Amino acid sequence: MTTRDGAATRIAFFGLGKMGLPMATRLVEAGWSVTGFDPFPAARDAFAAAGGRAVAEPGAAVEGAATLILMLPDGKAVRTLLTQTEGVAGRLASGTLVVDMSSSAPVGTRDLAAELAAEGVTLIDAPVSGGVKRAIDGSLAIMVGGEAEAVARATPLLEVMGGSIFATGPIGSGHAMKALNNYVSAAGLTAACEALRVGRSFGLDPTLMTDILNVSTGRNNSTEVKLKPFVIPQSYTSGFSLALMAKDLRTADDLARHEGVAAPLSGAVSALWAEALAELGTSADHTAIDAFLGRREA
């Protein structure tokens, strides 16, 4: 493997969790010089074990980096790190490219991009879809919003982490698309879980129902990859949290309101998942929406 040398290839990567760790590791394996930061020592240790350089301070991670990649929980965490508590933006060299791969709110992303541009720093948004398995094998779907030149500059990195790269338009459009995608995903999962519960009550076998759905018009991502392994056995261990899905649903609903577009189903789904989060807690898997629906039957 040939190492990519030079300051222009140095990457800082913030957020070495379930998704960020395999994504950053793929960059290391592709020959990029990556310095990773995460507030949790275990995450930093895991990245170091994978061949990356891990540091305990965000400021040290961005030193000499031409690109900063963020894989954080939400836009609030991104803004806090860049402009508030840590003030990392003040330590970025003019011309630095910031790639926010977090699931942030699109309107906030647009505002943040304007603030960073005033400091000579370019922001693009590049959220992902596909989960941990596709982060590991580099087949994520990545939705990229921002100026064409900046998107082109980031593309060689994104292609290491994703199998499908979509340029969605101006800054914030990637985050908008991610939130709307997860709204459709959550609505499909909710409908599938409700259908199984109604069918089971009537005497239908849930596994047979899933097989029929998957060769019929009711087929969706949840019927294909979530019902049999996580919902029917009630393991609820897909690896994506209910809290993150509820957050993305709020983002999608807020976007609809911001745009003045009537989206009654979006509001209903967002409210339902917010109620589930309040009852099941932040540690619950998103497929546990099925368990929440079961409690409502009692």
Active site residue 178: yes
* CA 218 from centroid of its chain's CA atoms: 26
Secondary structure (3-state) at 224: helix
Contact indicator for 173, 181 with CB cutoff of 8 Å: no
Rounded Cα–Cα distance for residues 251 and 106 (Å): 8
CB atoms within 10 A of CB 29: 15
The CA distance from 71 to 191, in Å, is: 30
Catalytic residue among 133, 178, 228, 247: 178
Instruction: Judge contact between 3 and 52, C-beta under 8 A.
Output: no
3-state DSSP assignment of residue 98: strand
Q: Is the dihedral of CA 218, 220, 224, 227 positive or negative?
A: negative
Which positions are catalytic? 178
